[in-house]
Amino acid sequence: MANQTLSAYDQIPYLANPLPQTHPSRLAAVASMFALSFAPPKNARVLELGCASGINLLGMAHFMPEAKFVGIDLSIVQIHEAQRRAKAINAENVTFHHMGIEDIDANFGEFDYVLCHGVYSWVPPSTQKAILRICNENLSQDGIGFVSYNVQPGWRIKQIARDVFWALTPPEMPASKRYEYGVAWIKDALEITAKEEQKPLLHQALANEMNSILTQKDIRYLVHEYIEDNNEPLLFREFLSQVSEAGLAYLGDAEPASMVRHLTNPALREFFKTHPATSMAEAEQAIDIIMGRTFRQSLLVKGIRHRQINRALTSAFFKNLHIQARIARKVDENNQVTYTHPRAGQMNAQPPYGTAALDVLAEAFMPTEFRKLADKFTELSQGTDDVFAEILFSLLGAGAIEIFADPYIPELPKGATPLALLDVSSGRNITSNAAGEVIGLDPLQSLILPLLKGDWDREDVISHLAGLYGKGAFNINPVPADNEQMRNLLGNLADKAANALKMMGVVG
């Protein structure tokens, strides 16, 4: 089985991107929510099981020089790529090893954070047991384990597409060809019943899956999700049973919003009044069903810490944390103010407290301590810390803010970070910052970022852009009338891109 897995991931390496939800400071924030001690992220020891090409770990290591990072993976192709990338930016605090998860024992070392994303559901039971064993044996006393997996019953609907791929395509067919053949077959098959008023249930499920997943994601993800030998989702309560057998305790979810939504969402609050849950596990299992959840990211601690977890959530926990928001504030020509969030959409706020809170959070581009934000809130609205914390609680339930414990946000020297320069030179249009965020780069930013090296000069950047423009590398709209106008337009573009990159934390 290990050889099959090795072959699959060497042929088609897994789609590797930064995973902000695995950042130690975010995991520690969940511990803080429940009044549980944690290892300081700044100088933590972090192990990632199934690190692929090291994109996630290297992003953390680059901004956390006092911490130590170790990644392992069964694919020699991906480990070589991880080692190459680490060497390219002189990251000496991260190492990558070509080895299997089951080869790790207590002698491998102790870690404060053990990360295992996108592995558990895709490996046999023996490897699943090894993952949980490592989360116990190799975890420090205050350590936190992160394990993600597909969950039922929500994933059962997606299972239909996987079943079709397996029924249609011979296992000996190369994975990429198998995927392409399966997608083409499903699309053609759906045409047969597309115009029928009463469509078969199988048609409806496949059509939804094709629209929402199969046609929108990278083949490197899809092949391993739908054609991999192993992909066995399980109920949340079944996972909890496995966790308990391994001597571990469930701390919470890596997505804090999922743990407070039933307290902040009016409809969910009413539901649980008439259908009260007898335990945390029962409540979360119910929410999985109601929300149609297909994927979980669970945080684990040593079993002996179970009684130390305080699940009586109140908004007071925010006072020990740092808050980050991606709330955009805009004022139109009629002086009307609107607030929007990439996930939560347009946000409604009532003055004075609601609008003051959003005004403050609109400036929290990077994690900012509660005290600093609360003082600004009080200055704007005369509201108290408790009022501000209650607003944050609602925003957390809506998925509109992120929380961090003791984040390390370094002062960046002038110019693009070595990590961002490496990503762009590798043809990637994404990179990451000190908060572990996925930073998407538009074509112009990808073009300008390599010019922002070290103590870069604005006029030199404009001259470089002028040369690229002359070669047809990009267009300017409207087309400049003369050289002076061209340089002015290019200067504005460079300033806009540089400011945006500074705000996102990838340029100093």
Q: Residue 242 above 50 pLDDT? A: yes
pLDDT of residue 253: 96
pLDDT at 4: 44
Q: How do residues 17-32 score in pLDDT, each as one tens digit?
A: 899 999 999 999 999 9
Is 7's pLDDT higher than 60? no
- List, in sequence order, every residue forming a beta bridge with 296; answer none if it has no partner: 149
pTM score: 0.91
What is the C-alpha separation between 391 and 402, in angstroms, rounded?
13
Q: How many CB atoms lie within 10 A of CB 461?
A: 21
d(CA 220, CA 233) in angstroms, rounded, equals 20
φ, ψ for residue 430, nearest 5 deg: -135, 155
* C-alpha span between 30 and 187 (Å, rounded): 43
> End-to-end alpha-carbon separation of the chain, Å?
47
Cα distances (Å, whole numbers) of residue 234 to 149, 153, 156, 165, 295: 8, 8, 10, 20, 10
- Alpha-carbon span 341 to 117, nearest angstrom: 26
CA separation for the pair 127, 129 (Å, rounded) = 5
Average pLDDT of span 213-240: 77
Between helices 266-274 and 257-264, what is the axis angle to 10°?
80
Task: Please check whether residue 13 is in contact with residue 78, taking contact to mean a CB–CB distance below 8 angstroms.
Answer: yes
Contacts of 478 (CB under 8 A, 6+ apart): none
Confidence of residue 478 (pLDDT cuts 50, 70, 90): confident
Q: pLDDT, tens digit, for every residue of 481-499?
A: 889 999 999 999 999 999 9
267-318 pLDDT tens trace: 988 999 999 988 888 888 898 899 889 999 999 999 999 999 999 888 999 9
Peptide linkage before 478 cis (omega within 30 of 0): yes
Q: Minimal CA–CA distance to 19: which of 88, 118, 99, 91?
A: 118
> In the beta sheet, which residues pair with residue 95?
70
CA–CA separation, 38 vs 145, rounded Å? 11
Mean pLDDT to the nearest integer, 132-153: 96
Q: What are phi and psi of 137, to 5 degrees?
A: -65, -40
CB 131 within 8 A of CB 102: no
Long-range (24+ apart) CB contacts under 8 A made by 183-190 are 183/210, 183/214, 183/215, 186/161, 186/210, 186/214
Residue with tokens 């809130």: 377
Q: What is the CA radius of gyration of the chain?
A: 24
Q: What would the pLDDT profile of 407-457 be if each residue is shown by its tens digit?
A: 889 999 999 999 999 999 999 999 999 999 999 999 999 999 999 999 999
**Phi, psi (5° rounding) for residue 276?**
-65, 140
Going 269 to 274 to 275 to 278, the CA torsion angle's sign is: positive
Q: Say if strands 45-49 and 111-116 run parallel, antiparallel, or are unpaired.
A: parallel
Distance CA 368, CA 409 (A): 10
Cβ-based neighbour number of residue 94 at 10 Å: 26
At residue 360, φ and ψ (nearest 5 deg) are -70, -45
The arithmetic mean of pLDDT across residues 243-264, rounded, is 93
- 116: which strand partners? 147
- pLDDT surpasses 60 at 2: no
Comparing 301 with 469, the larger pLDDT belongs to: 301
Dist. CA 268–CA 281, nearest whole Å: 16
The whole-angstrom separation of Cα 165 and Cα 159 is: 10
